[in-house]
C-alpha cells in the first residue's frame, strides 16, 4: 500500500470512504459559522436541497488517503492542490481516488505526482486535484 521507489506510473491508490455527517458539518472546525453547512431550514431557504459540506472536509478525506500512501513524506515538501467542482450534501457517501501520473528522479529517490479526486457513490466527481510528494529523497 505505501508508495515506494518501485511504485509505477499508473498505480491506483486505495481510497477512503466517508459519510457526510451533519454532526461534523456543524462543528466549529468545519463551518459552524455558515448555516448552509448545518441548518436544513436555512439551506432550503437559500435553494439547497440539504446542508452542504465545506470544501475543507473533502480535502481532509483526500489528505487522509495520501497520508495512508506517502506516510511522513506527505508532511515534508508535499504539495496538494484541489478544486471543488460540486457540492457534497448531507448523508452523501464520498470515496476518494488517486492514480500516479508522474514519477521523476530526485536525489536518491523520486518525486511522485498523483491525480486525486473525491466522488459520490453515483460516480459524480465533487473535488479534483493533484498531490506531489517526495519518496526516499
Report the DSSP pairing between strands 79-84 and 125-135: antiparallel
pLDDT at 78: 97
| Predicted TM-score (pTM) of this structure | 0.91
Residue found by looking up cell 436544513 in the block:
40
Q: Total structural domains in the chain?
A: 1
- The per-residue pLDDT for range 12-34, each reduced to its tens digit, is 999 999 998 776 666 666 556 78
Q: What share of the chain has pLDDT > 90, as a percent?
A: 79
Question: Per the domain annotation, does 123 fall within a domain?
Answer: yes
Question: Per the domain annotation, does 77 fall within a domain?
Answer: yes
Pick the closest to residue 17 from 54, 52, 48, 62 (CA basis). 62
> What CATH number does residue 24 fall under?
3.10.129.10
Question: Per the domain annotation, does 4 fall within a domain?
Answer: no
pLDDT at 27: 65
pLDDT at 28: 61
Question: Per the domain annotation, does 18 fall within a domain?
Answer: yes
Q: 90 is written with which cell numbers?
A: 448531507
Question: Per the domain annotation, does 5 fall within a domain?
Answer: no
Could you give the CA distance from residue 119 to residue 57 in angstroms, rounded to a whole number?
Answer: 13
Pick the closest to residue 83 from 110, 58, 48, 53 (CA basis). 58
The CB density around residue 73, as the number of other CB atoms within 10 Å, is 20
Question: What does each C-alpha distance from 108 to 53, 73, 76, 77, 104 come to in angstroms?
Answer: 41, 14, 16, 15, 11
Could you give the CA distance from residue 95 to residue 58 in angstroms, rounded to a whole number?
Answer: 9
- The per-residue pLDDT for range 45-57, each reduced to its tens digit, is 999 999 998 888 8
* Mean of all residue pLDDT scores within the chain: 92
Question: Per the domain annotation, does 2 fall within a domain?
Answer: no
Q: Which domain holds residue 68?
A: 12-135
Amino acid at each position: 500500500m505505501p508508495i515506494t521507489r518501485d511504485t509505477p506510473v499508473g498505480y491506483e491508490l486505495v481510497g477512503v470512504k466517508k459519510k457526510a455527517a451533519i454532526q461534523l458539518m456543524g462543528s466549529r472546525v468545519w463551518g459552524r459559522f455558515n448555516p448552509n453547512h448545518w441548518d436544513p431550514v436555512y439551506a432550503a431557504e437559500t435553494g439547497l436541497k440539504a446542508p452542504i459540506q465545506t470544501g475543507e472536509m473533502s480535502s481532509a478525506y483526500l489528505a487522509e488517503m495520501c497520508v495512508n500512501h506517502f506516510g511522513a513524506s506527505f508532511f515534508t515538501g508535499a504539495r496538494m492542490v484541489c478544486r471543488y467542482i460540486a457540492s457534497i450534501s448531507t448523508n452523501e457517501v464520498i470515496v476518494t481516488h488517486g492514480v500516479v501520473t508522474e514519477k521523476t528522479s530526485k536525489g536518491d529517490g523520486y518525486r511522485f505526482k498523483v491525480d486525486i479526486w473525491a466522488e459520490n457513490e453515483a460516480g459524480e466527481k465533487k473535488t479534483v486535484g493533484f498531490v506531489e510528494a517526495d519518496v526516499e529523497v
